Structure 1
Amino acid sequence: MDKERNNKGHAAPKWIAASLAGVLWIMPVIGGELPLFEQGHASIAVAASSFTATKVSEEIITSGATKLKYKYTVTRSGSKAVGLADVIRVDLNNPYVSIDVMTGKNGKLTTRQSTGGMARETGAVAAVNGDYFNTGGEGAPIGGEVSGGTLVSTPSQLNGLYAFALTTENKPVIDDFAFTGTITAADGTQFALSGINKGAYSPEGGTSTYSHANAAYIYTDAWTAQDRPKNSSTTPTEVLVENGIITQISMNSALKVAVPAGAYILRTHGTAAKFVADHLAIGQPLTAAYSLQSKVTGETIDPASLKMMIGGHTILVDKGKATAFSRSVSSIGGYRARTALGYSEDGRYVYIIAAEKNDDSSGMSLSELQSFMTSIGVYKGLNLDGGGSTTMVDRPLAETQTTLTFDTEYGTEQRSIVNGLGVYTNAPQGELKGIKISGSSVLLIGQTAAYTLKGYDTYYNPVDVASGNPSWKSSSGSVSVNGGEATAVKPGTATLTAGSGSVNASTTVTVLGSGDLSSLKPGTASAPLKEGTVISVPVTAVTNSGASISVPSSALKWEFVGFQGSVQDGKLTVNTVNPGVTTGYAIARYDGFSTVIVLTEAAAVPWENFENVTYPIAFTTNASGVQGSATITDGSDNHAGSKVLSLGYDMTAGTGKMYAYAQLNGTTGKQVPAAATSMTLDVMGDKSLNWLRAEFTDNSGATVYVDLAKTIDWTGWKTLNIDLSGSNMKFPATLKRLYVVNVEEGQDERAKTGTVAFDNMSFTMPSLSSEAGLPPRTAVMVIGQKTLTVNGTMKAIDSAPLVKDGTTYVPIRYVLDAFGGSASWDPSTRKIMVLRGSKALDLTVNKKEFILNGKRQSAEVAPILLQGRTLVPLRLVSEQLGLTVKWEQKTKTVIIES
């Protein structure tokens, strides 16, 4: 028993996976036993009867591999949901295409890399993320792995975890595999081998709750970490075997070396360690024999008979139908991004499947995934790691590099994972088959974009055609083109044509006009009206089809009301403020379509100095092994005598991308009540070169991450000024956490321990109510009379209100004179720009559409031009500007109040 305890005399913690959500999160088991996955098979899944999928595109990646995109619709709780799914279909009958497992960095376990990174490193033309893994472990798959015909890792002793394999005869297999093996000493005695290159876990169906207790495991040079593995809960005895001969034995302690190339280390515990002590000696031979076994049929499989194998989770489809889950799926439920593998009934096609969860797609449940798989021809299929890990990359036709097939659940960020499945081509170079033009299909006026001519051969692999000096031409004056560089001149459509030798290619480019836009959004809707203010003012156009496009600075014309300013390199600078002005406007126009930034008087508002904190502050982390503290303490140096928030962290026992959080007020956070354009705080740096961030939750429920410092490259106290104007945060918002990030790449160059501190946090919050200075008044006008009475005082006006076709029209200039605001008239475009408080209203004579603060809307009636005077529909203007209108029928009197 003593050998099964650590040297402090108490049982070491068991580490097991508590849930599945894209990856496995690990926690120590305290007290009772907690299984790695919840036990028990689910009943046969009820396929989503309302599920339908339609193929929307089909593109060849390489000879034998095709990418298909599907749109699906499904009814959930009476509501319709839509989404997208992508399939790489691989033809196993094609001699030029193959599939194999991609592993970490340089093909090694205990390293992690993104799907795209592994694809680039291995030369894959398409790839998807692979097996589940323990995020707190060294970085090894939970299932079995065979790559290039080599058994890299064995299946874990867990129930119902299926795997996909390909035999040396190119036959696809999906099965639940077990591992059996023995080691044989020189004297002929044998001991059971429990696995190869496995992390610590809690096995199922055996006599031990510790995977490594009384067990022997082989670790090959594919396992790069010196922990073999960590948290194995026992004291090890390790044996180094080189060329079949024992060269080192370390009793009751691990060897202090990584596994040499071509060798392996036998790690033993308990009774297995006793076997080593009794039967092995340096200089003697040691042999190992092992095989895989189907838990379903009992068939024994020689790993050498497999080209590749990758592990997964539950089986989903069998014999072309949804089948019972092979283990509980409660921890991987919900509507998420999903990845799956399957094959056709004749074994010819492999289907590599990814369901999207992003702004364009609602994700899938597992039962919906089953429906999708059967609808596209999957005969047998299994679930791979999904959720946030779901990533697919592919090489577009004629391109040389893979790109993201779709945005992940986290945008363009790809998680670092332990393995993936890659698609490869070994096709020879063929003849030029075709060319294509690569570049944007949509441009904005004034935008310049590069277009390239790329070719592909008879095997659909890229061919360089740029060296042939292709010719370019445009079919219309909407776009001018010169040597592959196109410039949008005016709204319209143009066909760009490029030729190389006898082969030509064309693409259609649309230049958007104001009529093609539904809205124009500035990065911030408000800003402080103060000389010297500088804020980011990115502008995004949303098309009538819903697409978002960043508007280049060259395409915008700016106008400033109430102040003198300028916009350069996407930043607005307030140079001077006009005397007496409390509200100013920065108006951006694209082809006449306007949006506005409202500037009001504002100052930095103290938000938290940590002197009298009444809410809880706690340390949290994302990774096991990371420790730290978040406390209110006395400040140091020039903050001596002041209370500060101190965040200390120790990441030496953690792995992967690690976070150390100072969490404010539990899960609630502390509110930032009004729209903030900037944030100022004092930070004591530790020169750790880590990344410093803040996490907000905005008024829409979205999480907004704000960089405080990309690199903590200073020591002592420093004041940071953070521009929030480009964050798209909706206020009121809450600041949830301040935290340090140690990203996985380049960790050897950054400190894993340190302390940072925060003090004197403030926000610049321009008033939400720019109407605060607007006068409360009552105005009276009588139809047909050229008078206006404001708060009892009558004045003459040069245009009378009138009623036409049941609509009351008023001269807008006089209404604004009474209630605050201004109106300007552009005779060339016949537009009226109305500014009042926080509102900017763009009206056009004889057009029912109007633009309010950058958003296109529609009214029942339009402004009119009568005898050289512009009259606007009273109801439309009053509703949009926040005024109240009353009508007295007897006297034909209009009463307007603010």
Structure 2
Amino acid sequence: MEKQAISFYVRNCILRNESKIIYSPFESTGEKEKMNKKLSFLIILCILLSTSFSQIFYAPNAYYQKSEENFHITVIQFPNPNIEIFTALGQDQILGKEKLSSIAKRYNADLAINANFFSLDSGEPIGLVVSNGELIHLPIKRGVFAITYDGRAVIDIFETTIKVKVNNNIFKIDNLNSPRGGNQAVLYTKKFAKQTLIQNNAFAGVNIIIELDNILPFHGNIKGKVVNIEYGVLSSNIPDNGCVISLGGTALKYLPLFEIGKDIEIIVESKPTIPIKEAICGGPILIKNREIVLGKTNEIPFDQNIINGRHPRTIIATKEDKIIILFIEGRTTTSPGMTLKEAIELLKTLDVENALNLDGGSSSNMVLWKEPLINSDREISTALLIKNITETTEPKYLFILPDEDLYIQKDEKKKIKLILQDSNFHKLDISSFTWSISNPIIDFNPQTMEITGLDYGSSELTINIGNLSAKKNITVYTNTFSEDFELDKNWRITGKNIDEMFTTYSITTQNGYEGKNFLSLKYRTLPGDSFLYFEINTVIVEKMTKLSLKVYGDGKRGWLRALFYDSNGKPYVLDITSFKGIDWTNEWRTIEKDLGEIKPLISSWNLPPKYPLKLQSIYLVFLNNSGIEGNIFLDDLKIY
């Protein structure tokens, strides 16, 4: 039976349809240099994005999504009355460090990311911190992400000065919530710690204890009253409803202005003058108004390793009415991380308007429903939290994670997670459920949520809670694979620059090699670079070392290749023929290939694939062709 090309389709990226990108990883070699230029990092990332998992909503108009390429994204419609976005400090103080998961648990946040760079020794964050309208740490000349009271998400560089007015005398505060130096006037609020602190090279000074009528604003004035003056002290307790102004060295010249009972005013001036409610600092700014600005913002310089090294990354971006957060895994054999230039290419595929790099490396992480996405849950200084603030309703959604089909070996165990949500996407506790399996080739332990492979084949696990049901397809795979093309299994053809009306496959007996039937693949290309994918979609385990295929040639020099995806979603290829392609006619040839010759589609990765693999397609490549019509035959595909 002859089949039309079933689907010449465009894969969607997460945030937009890239209509020029057809599902066909562009090739290289030979003329290969030309093709390498076409194989831009942007296009490959868009392909990888298209292989991502389903969206998991944790609040209305706010979802999380994991890519098989080891990066994670959350997209938030903003403004969004269903959520609260806020800044939090480790241990709720400047000199406190805490694991991101612990911060998320304390605040009952649904999603959390790390934020500011910080001192590994003291935990003091670097740059601006604003929480619920309170100025906690002063900005430096580095990029800031901020949420305003009027519902805007802003990425910019800010300047802030703090002044103290006593009678008609005004002087400038040198720092806020940071250990005082020898000749400084420093202001401390309760967000610093229980007590003030001076630097190692500083001497005792005078601390002025002040009762305030309000929190310290990002921009504006507050009033206070001097309630005590402590002379010759190294530290003082910080009052819950006030602050301490610590004077040392030459800053003691301001001491005569103060006396107990004296009224004072604290003046905070910030530019740009924006009503900021929450703010975190990172840097550098990567994109501004859709223009790449890396290295052009005059921010305080970063170590070049932060810029050019491949590291885990946490990045926050804005796009029209959306906030987009990326967490990119790194420093592993399967996920090296990204340079900032590579991260920018990824951001451009998402068409963001503005983007800011946050602290990365070992600090990078994302927590969903109080569980870190990676095991490295380092203590950090600041976090940005997102909380679903809608009311809890009746259960509505039930699903199993991971959400893709599950492939396991015989006797192998794999854990799953069962997620129950209400109509507002709150994650609900599960007290009990029922379950069944369609084929007893697997065992399911409801206490540990483990699936064990018992025998080869496929099965379906069904879990029920009330009238809600979730299903998971499970395949227990063998160490060999064979396809003799005796039966039509409704295979799928995809491609780029292919005449979809003409391109077909059929099961036929003409020119047979062995057995009763084999596969006939008839095609017609369009001018340019053409790719024709015949989807196989079978699991390849590490014990399989050889691929064998019988090919009846048409002499049209189609480059025959195999496309694999590893367990991280990275594409790999195997050349079944050389770049010269199928250059023989009217005869069957048996081609045997060593699977050790599989190589990354993107040569710069230079990483071995993570097993198990999926053989996605056997495919033909025609580069710079003017339009070719041909017909090849395939039989007896074996992987063993």
Give the TM-score range, shorter chain: 0.5 to 0.7
Q: How does 1:209-220 map to 2 (within 5 A)?
A: 212=181, 214-220=183-189
| Partner of residue 128, structure 2 | 144
- Letter aligned with residue 475 of structure 1: S
- Letter aligned with residue 518 of structure 1: E
Q: Is the counterpart of residue 289 in structure 1 residue 267 in structure 2?
A: yes
Q: Is the counterpart of residue 153 in structure 1 residue 137 in structure 2?
A: yes
- 8 A Cα contact 1:92 1:98, kept in partner: no
Query: CA 1:59–1:446 in structure 2 vs 1: closer, same or farther (change >3 Å)?
Result: same
Q: CA deviation at 1:86?
A: 2.0
| Partner of residue 414, structure 1 | 377
- 8 A Cα contact 2:41 2:342, kept in partner: no
| Partner of residue 135, structure 1 | 120
| Partner of residue 238, structure 2 | 259
Distance in 1 (CA, whole Å) between partners of 2:260 and 2:324 is 49
Distance in 2 (CA, whole Å) between partners of 1:141 and 1:214 is 22
- 8 A Cα contact 1:474 1:497, kept in partner: yes
Q: CA deviation at 1:422?
A: 1.2
| Partner of residue 434, structure 2 | 471
Q: CA deviation at 1:155?
A: 1.3
Distance in 2 (CA, whole Å) between partners of 1:475 and 1:267 is 72
Please, what is the CA RMSD of the aligned residues? 3.0
Query: CA 1:503–1:324 in structure 2 vs 1: closer, same or farther (change >3 Å)?
Result: closer
| Partner of residue 190, structure 2 | 221
Matched position secondary structure for 1:51: helix
Query: CA 1:473–1:110 in structure 2 vs 1: closer, same or farther (change >3 Å)?
Result: same
Aligned pair partner of 1:504 in 454, 464, 469: 469
- 8 A Cα contact 1:179 1:195, kept in partner: no
Distance in 2 (CA, whole Å) between partners of 1:229 and 1:370 is 40
Larger radius of gyration, structure 1 or 2?
A: 1
| Partner of residue 109, structure 2 | 124
| Partner of residue 316, structure 2 | 341
- Letter aligned with residue 288 of structure 1: I
- 8 A Cα contact 1:472 1:482, kept in partner: no
| Partner of residue 98, structure 1 | 84
Matched position secondary structure for 1:267: strand
- Letter aligned with residue 228 of structure 2: Q
| Partner of residue 61, structure 2 | 64
Query: CA 1:232–1:494 in structure 2 vs 1: closer, same or farther (change >3 Å)?
Result: farther
Distance in 2 (CA, whole Å) between partners of 1:482 and 1:313 is 47
Aligned pair partner of 2:371 in 403, 407, 413: 403
Matched position secondary structure for 2:199: coil
Aligned pair partner of 2:205 in 232, 236, 253: 236
| Partner of residue 169, structure 2 | 189
Aligned pair partner of 1:275 in 251, 254, 258: 254
Matched position secondary structure for 2:150: coil
Distance in 2 (CA, whole Å) between partners of 1:451 and 1:165 is 37
Distance in 1 (CA, whole Å) between partners of 2:241 and 2:343 is 42
Q: CA deviation at 1:222?
A: 1.0
Q: How does 1:419-498 map to 2 (within 5 A)?
A: 419-437=382-400, 441-446=406-411, 453-467=418-432, 470-481=433-444, 487-498=452-463
Distance in 2 (CA, whole Å) between partners of 1:418 and 1:92 is 26
Query: CA 1:392–1:426 in structure 2 vs 1: closer, same or farther (change >3 Å)?
Result: same
- 8 A Cα contact 1:228 1:267, kept in partner: no
Query: CA 1:450–1:90 in structure 2 vs 1: closer, same or farther (change >3 Å)?
Result: closer
Query: CA 1:331–1:496 in structure 2 vs 1: closer, same or farther (change >3 Å)?
Result: closer
Q: How does 1:805-816 map to 2 (within 5 A)?
A: none
- Letter aligned with residue 216 of structure 1: A
Distance in 2 (CA, whole Å) between partners of 1:99 and 1:338 is 20
- Letter aligned with residue 71 of structure 2: A
Matched position secondary structure for 2:93: coil
Distance in 2 (CA, whole Å) between partners of 1:291 and 1:102 is 23
Distance in 1 (CA, whole Å) between partners of 2:445 and 2:382 is 45
Q: CA deviation at 1:418?
A: 0.5
Distance in 1 (CA, whole Å) between partners of 2:435 and 2:462 is 6
| Partner of residue 714, structure 1 | none
Q: CA deviation at 1:481?
A: 4.6
Q: CA deviation at 1:250?
A: 2.6
Please give the per-residue CA displacement for 1:113-150, whole angstroms capped at 9, x wherever unaligned: 122221122112111111111223x3221111111222
Aligned pair partner of 1:367 in 316, 322, 341: 341
Q: CA deviation at 1:443?
A: 4.8
Q: Is the counterpart of residue 115 in structure 1 residue 108 in structure 2?
A: no
| Partner of residue 152, structure 2 | 171
Higher relative contact order (CA 8 A, sep 6+): 2
Q: How does 1:649-728 map to 2 (within 5 A)?
A: none
Q: CA deviation at 1:354?
A: 1.9
Distance in 2 (CA, whole Å) between partners of 1:199 and 1:368 is 37
Q: CA deviation at 1:220?
A: 0.7
Q: How does 1:527-606 map to 2 (within 5 A)?
A: none
Distance in 2 (CA, whole Å) between partners of 1:369 and 1:444 is 35
Query: CA 1:393–1:232 in structure 2 vs 1: closer, same or farther (change >3 Å)?
Result: farther
Q: CA deviation at 1:232?
A: 6.0
Please give the per-residue CA displacement for 1:667-689, whole angstroms capped at 9, x wherever unaligned: xxxxxxxxxxxxxxxxxxxxxxx
Q: CA deviation at 1:447?
A: 5.9
Q: Is the counterpart of residue 88 in structure 1 residue 67 in structure 2?
A: no
Query: CA 1:219–1:316 in structure 2 vs 1: closer, same or farther (change >3 Å)?
Result: same
Please give the per-residue CA displacement for 1:846-887, whole angstroms capped at 9, x wherever unaligned: xxx9xxxxxxx97xxxxxxxxxxxxxxxxxxxxxxxxxxxxx
| Partner of residue 314, structure 1 | 284
Please give the per-residue CA displacement for 1:154-196, whole angstroms capped at 9, x wherever unaligned: 214xx3x1111111111111111111121122x4322112332
Query: CA 1:254–1:84 in structure 2 vs 1: closer, same or farther (change >3 Å)?
Result: same
- 8 A Cα contact 2:129 2:279, kept in partner: yes
Distance in 2 (CA, whole Å) between partners of 1:252 and 1:135 is 30
Distance in 1 (CA, whole Å) between partners of 2:365 and 2:260 is 47
Q: How does 1:809-888 map to 2 (within 5 A)?
A: none
Per the normalisation by structure 1, the TM-score is: 0.45
Please give the per-residue CA displacement for 1:486-505, whole angstroms capped at 9, x wherever unaligned: 55432222101122332221
Distance in 1 (CA, whole Å) between partners of 2:462 and 2:344 is 44
Distance in 2 (CA, whole Å) between partners of 1:448 and 1:84 is 22
Distance in 2 (CA, whole Å) between partners of 1:448 and 1:359 is 23
Aligned pair partner of 1:245 in 207, 210, 225: 225
Distance in 1 (CA, whole Å) between partners of 2:271 and 2:110 is 32
Q: CA deviation at 1:247?
A: 2.7
Matched position secondary structure for 2:186: strand
Query: CA 1:452–1:99 in structure 2 vs 1: closer, same or farther (change >3 Å)?
Result: closer
| Partner of residue 363, structure 2 | 389
Distance in 2 (CA, whole Å) between partners of 1:189 and 1:450 is 67
Aligned length: 429
Q: CA deviation at 1:331?
A: 4.6
